[in-house]
Amino acid sequence: MSYDIVIPTTGRESLGLLLHALAMAEGPLPQRVVVVDDRPAHGEPLRLPSVRLPVELLRGRGRGPASARNTGWRAGSAEWVAFLDDDVVTPSDWREALSRDIGALAADVAASQGRIVVPLPRRRRPTDWERNVAALENANWATADMAYRRSALEATGGFDERFARAYREDADLGLRVTAAGLSIVRGERHVLHPVRPARAGISVRLQAGNADDVLMDAIHGRGWRARAGAAPGRLRRHLAVTGAALAAGGSLSVRRRRVAACTAALWLAGTAELAWARIAPGPRTPHEVWTMLWTSALLPPAAVFHRVRGHVRLRALPRPARPAAVLLDRDGTLVDDVPYNGDPELVRPRPGASEALERLRAAGVRMAVVSNQSGIGRGLITHDDVDAVNRRVEELLGPIGPWFVCPHDPAAGCACRKPRPGLVLRAAERLGVEPGACALIGDIGSDIEAARAAGARGLLVPTPQTLQQEVDAAPETARTLPEAVERLLA
């Protein structure tokens, strides 16, 4: 077992303390400690302390932690990559504990998350900012201390560099890794994450993260918060409070004083509720109370502004290219879903299936079918039964392309059963296209997750059997198969 350590930094003084702590720790040495200098404007070269570690300093591009971490892990070759933030402190046994955490993990475990301990004051209640930092203790997949297998990073492409800020880039990677059928476990090691000083308006500036939430919705569907274990947030309340303030101002400008008074009262009530929610658990000192009052007035419009900015930015991003190949699920997508069907006489095409396939043929788009057939592994049907049903599908709908079938029981843990990407990768290779140039149309969540895990575009066409949470989680949906095809070809 070998590991690298990657530390993105903006030049904080705490970086030197971290490197000294790592050097003094017990346990196997890392293959490399890659420090990525990600300061936006490089002036004097970053000075690192002299420590007994194989430290390498790389220049980042000043594009945020996602880009810096990619620069760091791609520079190494170790089996594991441990990511640390430059403001954490590792205890004396951290290297030994990391080795224990990752040394005996099963092959389907892609990552090990360390525990984050945020020291809070003992003789008073924490401030709003201190509570914000302390939320890291319960955050899923926080890269303040996170070790990934290099193979998992390579398979997913690493961190999405469209996230230029912290906090969402780690959740995005965690969702993509788990969607690929891999798991992330919590280890026994821990790091300390002290609360660094912050300006009074930090809570307002943090609302810029609402723009990243728009991108998360587009990539992972609106159900991503539940899957990532993220807090639901207060966006709806912020929208209501901001709307009340705008309505009050607009009504006053046209001299509708009664309407202005009512909407102003709603704004005041909403702002007061937010302020008290932040004041009540805190120390309630005069400075803290005043800070909570004026920032609570600014938080809702700041959140709404950045949400709108996120939608504007999303519209400016390149639209998905027309796919070089379209992969189709069989049961529930091309034909009615008959569980463990081995009888060709029971094959019934889905509405619009023939029309959709003719449209793809006319457009010259290569096609293939990717289908889970666990009935073979369960002993309920045979390979010959599945082949007979597949032939009947093509008798009714015309030639489609190569067929890729996973015959395994779900308990087999194979790499081909959707939601894992094996079938998609095999189909792309056979068709001679990159997985990222493929689109997969299916009727359940595992189809979309398999596409996401392979780097392909996934499009869900729900049926009455599709679970609502699968619809919510899908980045793209269509009402019918022909509508899905038209969207891909548009």
343 counts as catalytic: no
Sign of CA dihedral 102, 104, 108, 114: negative
3-class state of residue 389 by DSSP = helix
By DSSP bridging, strand 183-192 and strand 457-460 are: unpaired
Query: How far, in Å, are 100, 207, 374 from residue 302 at the CA level?
Result: 44, 6, 51
Per the annotation, the verdict on 331 as an active-site residue is yes
Contact present, 449 and 441 (Cβ < 8 Å): no
Q: Which one of 329, 385, 443, 447 is the catalytic residue?
A: 329
Selected catalytic residue, list 87, 331, 385, 447: 331
If phi over 0 gives left and psi between -120 and 50 gives alpha, with beta otherwise, what is residue 82?
Answer: beta
Q: Would you say 439 and 486 are in contact if contact means Cβ atoms under 8 Å apart?
A: no
Q: What is the secondary structure of 115-161 as a DSSP string?
A: EEE----SSSPPPHHHHHHHGGGG-TT-TTEEEEEHHHHHHHTSS-T
Residue 34: φ, ψ to 5°: -100, 115
Tokens 């660094």, residue located: 196
Exposed / middle / buried, residue 196 (Cβ in 10 Å: 0-12, 13-18, 19+)? exposed
Which residues have a catalytic role annotated?
A: 329, 331
